[in-house]
Structure 1
């Protein structure tokens, strides 16, 4: 009897999206208006599963409103670090309800990880990077499990580290899309006014970029909009937004 040949299935572990494929999409959609681009992407998506991630911060309502006009059933992910302003949580509920999103998913830090690495809840005070990793990066990584693409609300004007942002990035093998990357503050303000969107209640008090309560402060006139984040630390990002090794460092 001839020996049977055993077929071994090979699992493709290569990332679906690479810096090169992200750059190709960036070139394809260059110059296309934001809403038109999003409609086109959702009509003929280069991905299988897409999520919208929002911090429900000072400018979040713009992207949320644009997406809600296209697909209210898109999964909407919010990471509650358990250090958020109460105003942010109330704003989240108000805005998600007003815009009609039907799949709001809230993720929190792993309680076992918190017990091991931040039992006092004060890690932000001596290790903000470690705090962000536990309370933001890890929960979002869990939230995005099963998605191969996600929408981010980053804008190029927000800080010096974001001025060269592309619309499309590779992020841990996923596609990260920044639809508002070329919007400036005047455009955002005009969109708020045109669509009568509610502002985050803390914005009027001088909070122009709103994250966790312990690490967010008011921004003075003329300061970078993100100057109030991690003030006094050599830190400008929480760790969620980091470039791939082959990407330009912004």
Structure 2
């Protein structure tokens, strides 16, 4: 079955399903094949990670370590994985040769944030997803305008992308974390409601959008992880 049709059928099937049901079915969907959760271990990541741990602690989890993350994120990743008993967390990092060739001084983000995201996120993710038929994200419709029409299932190049929390609100996320007494990312309490790489993330004031601190001062709103029709990772700028 063509992937676009598969995504459409799954969206119809799960139009009234809760996030846990979508997640459980995606992990066991023979039409999709092996599925991994891609997690930033950021401000809200613990919700999906907890759901995964209740379904199968051996579910593959891919953590993208750009080598420019906050130290707090690296510590949080280790602590949460241990707390939830996740047994298959793989760390995807940029290729050493690529870094030496393209960003040996670690300042590529100052000249071209899209190129930096491609080097440190898109390409490592593409390699990490080899062998998987689908991947799960924590994206939500409320996060910015580009995500407002985000479906539960979507065709993503050669794979299916699953967004179990697509319709969740910020209040839903908080309620879930409170109910299950889940550990919070320490930077949230310091004014970072959305957490990316250290050089490209700033604090957010109370009146701002939660993602206002990401690539502040530019039109960029997404890291650029995206798969084109050829199945290769491609950079995507906010204006597209």
So what's the TM-score if we normalise by structure 2?
A: 0.92
Shift of 1:243: 7.4
Structure with max Cα Rg: 1
Deviations 1:199-226 (A, max 9, x none): 0000001101100000001112232211
Q: 1:66 aligns with which of 51, 57, 65?
A: 51
Question: Residue 85 of structure 2 corresponds to which residue in structure 1?
Answer: 100
Question: Residue 143 of structure 2 corresponds to which residue in structure 1?
Answer: 158
Deviations 1:78-127 (A, max 9, x none): 01000000000000000011111101100110111111111111001110
Structure 1 gaps of 5+ residues are: 1-15
Is 2:188 aligned against 1:203? yes
Cα distance change of structure 1 residues 17 and 151 upon mapping to structure 2, 3 Å threshold: farther
Aligned-pair Cα RMSD in Å: 1.8
Is contact 2:192–2:204 with CA below 8 Å preserved after alignment? yes
Three-state SS of the structure 1 residue aligned to 2:90 is strand
Distance 2:30 2:11 in 1: 14
Q: 1:127 aligns with which of 112, 116, 121?
A: 112
Is contact 2:157–2:227 with CA below 8 Å preserved after alignment? no
Question: Residue 85 of structure 1 corresponds to which residue in structure 2?
Answer: 70
Distance 2:112 2:187 in 1: 25
Instruction: Figure out how many residues of one structure are paired with residues of the other and give that number.
Output: 232
So what's the TM-score if we normalise by structure 1?
A: 0.88
Is 2:15 aligned against 1:30? yes
Question: Residue 219 of structure 2 corresponds to which residue in structure 1?
Answer: 234
Shift of 1:25: 1.2
Is contact 1:17–1:173 with CA below 8 Å preserved after alignment? no
Q: 2:37 aligns with which of 28, 36, 52?
A: 52
Is contact 2:81–2:89 with CA below 8 Å preserved after alignment? yes
Distance 2:99 2:138 in 1: 27
Question: Residue 9 of structure 1 corresponds to which residue in structure 2?
Answer: none
- Aligned positions of 1:163-182 closer than 5 A: 163-182=148-167
Is 2:134 aligned against 1:143? no
Shift of 1:19: 2.6
Distance 1:231 1:20 in 2: 37
